[in-house]
Amino acid sequence: MVRLSVNVNKIATLRNARGGNMPDLLKVVRDIEAFGGEGITIHPRPDQRHIRYQDARDLKKIVRTELNIEGNPIPEFLDLVLQVRPDQVTLVPDAPDAITSNAGWDTIAHRDFLREVIGKCRKAGIRTSIFVDPDPEMIRGAAETGTDRVELYTEAYAREYPTDPEGAVKAYRTAANIAHEVGLGLNAGHDLSLENIAYFKNQVPHLQEVSIGHALICESLYLGLENVINMYKNKLR
């Protein structure tokens, strides 16, 4: 079964909107795990617009499933990750002012930098993943960095799925097979939803984990968090 890691950035967005602690992020995370969530993903951005660095420290103490911290490995991010030691770190090449993640790594141009960062994380006992487009050369380049896994950036799939499901997924199927051939574990995420997740899961081999946040939280406004988590898990079986 493909593991569901729930990205809780948008819980922190709502919390920060009033400057208080409602919704209580730690309570929501405990409930997500009680409802069947199999991991918690956070993406502390440099401006800490939603997830704050302190949230990462606090969540490390309470997460019982797996904690995945995503972000651009700027020095303060890497320091946080090496301090917190999550189960997994996912390296994302976001610009500081990016409204959301919008590209995968150029694993060839940044091979030496990624090797250095990944080496430090793996030495600290943290499983590593790097955010990549479904580009065969980028997947092969990722294998040269020493990373444990890659995370396929699924925005293009989600955008094209409604009009051309097979056209949307074929690059990801190819990328997944190449990742498997070169010995990489496989995650996926960004803009996945109740509408598009089952087709992706059924068409993309070797998938170990999906991290889903924005759509899941929005769907939960109508259908309820516990119900939505179990709807995703049923589609991921």
Ligand X SMILES: CC(=O)[C@@H](O)[C@H](O)COP(=O)(O)O
Cite the annotated binding site for 3-amino-2-oxopropyl phosphate by residue number: 7, 18, 191, 213-214
- By CB under 6 A, is residue 214 in contact with ligand LD2JLWAY? yes
Q: Supply the DSSP string of 29-73, one letter for each residue.
A: HHHHHHTT--EEEE---TT-SSS-HHHHHHHHHH-SS-EEEEE--
Distance CA 32, CA 15 (A): 16
Closest separation in Å from C-beta 100 to ligand X: 3
- Given 72, 147, 196, 211, the residue binding ligand LD2JLWAY (CB under 6 A): 211
Count residues near ligand X (CB under 6 A).
Answer: 12
- Given 37, 39, 86, 189, the residue binding ligand LD2JLWAY (CB under 6 A): 189
Distance CA 47, CA 31 (A): 27
Binding-site members for 1-deoxy-D-xylulose 5-phosphate are 45, 50, 100
User: Could you say which of 33, 43, 66, 219 is catalytic?
Assistant: 43
Site string for ligand LD2JLWAY, 4-43 (x = CB under 6 A): ---x---------------------------------x--
Q: Which does 122 bind (CB under 5 to 8 A by kind): ligand LD2JLWAY, ligand X, none?
A: none
The structure tokens listed for 68 are 């995945």
* CA angle 89–53–123, rounded 5-degree value: 35
DSSP bridge pairs for 233: none
Stretch that binds ligand LD2JLWAY, among 57-65, 78-86, 166-174, 189-197 (CB under 6 A): 189-197
Q: Is 43 a catalytic residue?
A: yes
Distance CA 142, CA 219 (A): 33
Closest separation in Å from C-beta 95 to ligand X: 12
Say if CB 142 and CB 131 are below 8 A apart: no
Distance CA 237, CA 234 (A): 5
The structure tokens listed for 1 are 């079964």
Distance CA 110, CA 104 (A): 11
Q: Count the Cβ atoms, other than its own, within 10 Å of residue 116.
A: 13
Identify residues 69-98 at the interface with ligand LD2JLWAY (CB under 6 A). Answer: 70
Rule CB under 6 A: which residues touch ligand X? 7, 9, 43, 70, 92, 100-101, 131, 189-190, 213-214
